[in-house]
Amino acid sequence: MLPTFTGSVLVVGDVMEDIIVQPAGPMVRGSDVPAKIRTLPGGSGANQAMWLADCGVPVSFLARVGANDLDRYQTLFAARGVTPLLSADPERETGRLVTLLDTDGERSFFTDRGANLALGLAGLKPDLLEGIGLVHISGYSFFEPGPRAAMRQLMAAAKAANIPVSVDPASTGFLASVGADNFRAWTQGAALVFPNQEEAAFLSGAKDTEAQIRALGESYDLVVLKRGEAGAMAGNRQGILASAPALRIKALDSTGAGDAFMAGFVAALYEGASLAHCLERGNTAGARAAAQFGGQPVAV
């Protein structure tokens, strides 16, 4: 059953400085390769919040940045329609991510999570969830003990207030470091989960798509599976409930495509759309993200 909600979305996750490297050809060990290098704002949680605002959904964003960057990021998020709930870290710098793009638009990451490692709930007002209709948590916030404890506390508070929670598993590399069983136990009971193909296979232990959805449906009310060029599917413990084909585009940079998909899906959900239409809106937003450089919607 699709969760329904009114009010705004609270997104919790990472802020990163994305350094995107697009080589003109294969890397040559010990030598130079011409490349285009861009520095853009990023981070899965930040991307999701930006795309939600771009899709017309009221959204606030809880994150942690280096103290020197606090004013800049508060201004950036507010200017794009996101209510910033940022804390400043006096010791750690804002997280940084180097993205190496292949010629087909696929990417590899080198990550320094910086201030994100100290994300917590201390100092926040007790009315944090007032007016919130959905809490969305980026999986990166579960990979370190401190942020994980805060996220589990937040999930418990949301459950007590009858606010649905959605989770994005975020990264197979980090999931492997904590274990599939642990991650599922920490996020058990979420109304929505948004894995990609690799994450679904790892978390479920199954190879077949429907088996993955059925297995994950034991932990989450609705499994929304992002499959890239193969489109998207959604289902629960009973199996696949709906699917939608991907749009055919020329991908420039897949960074943020999954984040945009989530935003498109939730935007349709916010409007009371059917499950099939939610998947279609997700695919449309994901395609738009893949057709541009960087993980956040380009300002117009």
299: confidence class by pLDDT, cuts 50, 70, 90: low
pLDDT in tens, 101-137: 876 667 788 889 999 999 999 878 889 999 999 999 9
For each of the domains in the chain, give its residue range(s) and CATH number, in order of start: 8-16+42-96+113-290 (3.40.1190.20)
pLDDT recorded at residue 25: 83
pLDDT, average across residues 47-55: 97
Structure tokens at 174: 């980090």
pLDDT recorded at residue 87: 96
pLDDT recorded at residue 167: 98
Is 0.95 topped by the overall pTM? no
pLDDT in tens, 30-48: 889 899 998 888 899 999 9
181: confidence class by pLDDT, cuts 50, 70, 90: very high
